[in-house]
Amino acid sequence: MSNRFISTEPGIDQLTAEETLLRAFEQLQTNAAIASSFGAEDMVLIDMANRLKLPFPIFTLDTDFLFPQTYTLITQAEQRYGVVVERLSSSLTPEEQARAHGDQLWAYEPDKCCGLRKVEPLRRKLACLGGWITGIRRDQAPTRAHTRKVEWDEKFGLAKFNPLADWTSEQVWGYIRAHQVPYNPLHDQNYPSVGCTHCTRPVKAGEDPRAGRWSGSSKTECGLHIK
């Protein structure tokens, strides 16, 4: 069966996270890669793939504006799992972006900033793959509520595997504790979601877990997972 129609298989959404990873490898071998922002969910996927001995390539979108703790975690993951994380960057340096589009673009046109520093590097990478593996979950945001375990990504034109789609935050952290998976220490400082330094703040008691991303605007997604 072609990757284009894999999501139509009966029972595809009943696969466990491990079975979904195995299905990705069965279908695509190492022509599928784990896309990691090095959040808690992504660390679970990296650890799980390692335990299953699935040699998926791993890449991250290095916007040049990540927190120091995120860069440190990338190095820790490389050392622990014996992998080399491919770091994808914008074709523009921060200085070139400022000259071409204005200083602090993220403050007044965040969609354009995300497009330049995240979406376009991702598009270039996915053009070379048959599928990508993400850590998104349905209960993270309304925009992700209908995420399937395996689906066809119309936006980028390849298969998309979301092994943790039906997991809760409690399951993610239960796995991290059970397997002593390294994670970003900012999670312990009220940062449930960690992005760029300019566009991420800790959340307050009672706020939505993604309230700390692009605070003060209606933006809730960087554009990678918008269908």
| Residues noted as catalytic | 222
- Find the radius of gyration of the CA atoms of the chain: 17
Angle (CA) 162 221 174, round 5°: 45
DSSP-based helix, strand, coil % in the chain, nearest 5: 45, 10, 45
β-pairing verdict for 86-88 and 32-35? unpaired
In terms of residues, how long is the chain? 227
Tell me how crowded residue 45 is: count the other CB atoms within 10 A of its CB: 25
